[in-house]
């Protein structure tokens, strides 16, 4: 079971947000224990090869990556910590399940993902460095090993994140997204679960955008369109832009919309659109205006200028939003660093494009 940390209402495991106030749900203590047990003794899906489990530990892949231990798993993949004999650095090895490794369409999509990912080297992006195949026929990708706290966990732990901290993390996310957008790559699945908050040597936090697995080039041909299908199938509903919900062509501005939703949740602990069901919340994004930041959390005394920046970034029409991720981050930084009540026309013009 899950529980809303705000109103304490209980929900089933597959729910993600409270239908009363939009707050992200957290696992109840008893559910967390059950999840830990399930991770400790995972059951393999039918057809899963033993080589994708503990059998890889101690092996050297591609003559350079020594697999040390398993650090996580999903429905169709296992993630390992490995050491690179060439660079002497740690890396993450994501090994796909046997069933997925034999899926022709999935492999075509993964090869495209890998070719894109290798162009995304940036401190604020976890990119694919290499793709290979084990002797057992299992496909794997090599990525930087990123240690930190998942942003959704931080949101749940703190309830909301202060403006200054939010501005800094959004600046990092925008920097990573900007690199992708300049390469004509759109993330399409930006959400708190895909952001890792890490520590620099001096103890300060920085954000890394993870999982460009749904990334797609804007100038895609017919075959690529068949592989990626539509955004409504591949994205995460809670953070989809209106054009993504409608299955329309996407560009960088869909990520800006999702980044704004993510920012709103960081600042308030809630989402700006409400409904009794996930479907109602999706419809609200298509037909309704977002709940203003300070109306959602009047107790936090959030700056009016920050509220206005987010309203612009969450405009239903992409033409009415900020046109680049960096422009959004810069506007948010200016709004969050000043006294909104004393903002002059010059500052407001810089924030809102006047």
Q: Is 96 exposed, middle or buried (0-12, 13-18, 19+ CB in 10 A)?
A: buried
- Catalytically annotated residues: 189
CB neighbours (10 Å) of residue 298? 10
290 DSSP 8-state letter: P
CA 196 to chain centre: 8
| Angle (nearest 5°) at CA 133 between 127 and 135 | 150
18 - beta bridge partners? none
Phi-psi region of 63 (alpha: psi -120 to 50; beta: other; left: phi over 0): left
207 - beta bridge partners? 197
Burial 252-278 (b: 16+ CB within 10 A, else e): bbbbbbbbbbbbbbbbbbbbbbbbeee
Q: SS3 for 215?
A: coil
Q: What is the 3-state secondary structure (H, E, C) of 31-49?
A: HHHHHHHHHHCCCCCCCCC
With beta carbons less than 8 A apart as the criterion, state whether 94 and 128 touch: no
Tell me how far CA of residue 280 lies from CA of 20, 21, 234, 260, 342, in angstroms: 12, 13, 19, 20, 38
Strand arrangement, sheet containing 10-11: 10-11, 2-3, 26-27
Tokens for 137, please give them.
Answer: 């026929």
């Amino acid at each position: 079971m899950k529980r809303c940390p705000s109103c304490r209402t209980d929900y089933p495991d597959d729910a993600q947000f409270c239908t009363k106030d939009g707050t992200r749900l957290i696992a109840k203590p008893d559910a967390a224990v059950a999840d830990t047990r399930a991770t400790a003794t995972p059951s393999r899906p039918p057809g899963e090869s033993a080589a994708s489990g503990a059998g890889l530990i101690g092996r050297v892949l591609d003559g350079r990556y020594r697999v040390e231990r398993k650090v996580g798993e999903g429905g169709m993949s296992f993630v390992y910590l490995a050491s690179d004999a060439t660079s002497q650095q740690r890396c993450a090895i994501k090994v796909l399940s046997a069933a997925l490794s034999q899926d022709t369409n999935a492999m075509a999509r993964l090869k495209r993902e890998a070719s894109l990912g290798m162009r995304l080297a940036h401190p604020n992006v976890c990119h694919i460095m290499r793709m290979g195949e084990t002797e057992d026929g299992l496909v794997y990708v090599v990525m930087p090993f990123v240690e930190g706290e998942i942003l959704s966990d931080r949101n749940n732990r703190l309830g909301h994140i202060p403006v200054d901290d939010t501005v800094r993390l959004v600046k990092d996310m925008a920097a990573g997204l900007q690199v992708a957008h300049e390469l004509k790559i759109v993330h399409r699945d930006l959400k708190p679960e895909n952001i890792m908050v890490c520590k620099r040597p001096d103890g300060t936090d920085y954000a890394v955008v993870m999982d460009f697995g749904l990334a797609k080039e804007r100038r895609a041909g017919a075959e690529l369109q068949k592989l990626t299908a539509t955004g409504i199938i591949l994205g995460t509903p809670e953070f989809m832009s209106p054009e993504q919900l409608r299955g329309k062509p996407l560009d960088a501005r869909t990520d800006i919309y999702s980044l704004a939703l993510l920012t709103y949740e960081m600042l308030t602990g809630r989402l700006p659109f409400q409904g009794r069901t996930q479907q109602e919340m999706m419809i609200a994004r298509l037909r309704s205006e977002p709940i203003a930041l300070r109306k959602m959390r009047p107790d936090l005394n959030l700056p009016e200028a920050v509220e206005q920046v987010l309203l612009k970034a969450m405009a239903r029409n992409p033409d009415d939003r900020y046109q680049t991720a960096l422009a959004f981050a810069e506007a948010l930084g200016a709004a969050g660093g000043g006294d909104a009540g004393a903002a002059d026309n010059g500052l407001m013009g810089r924030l809102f494009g006047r």
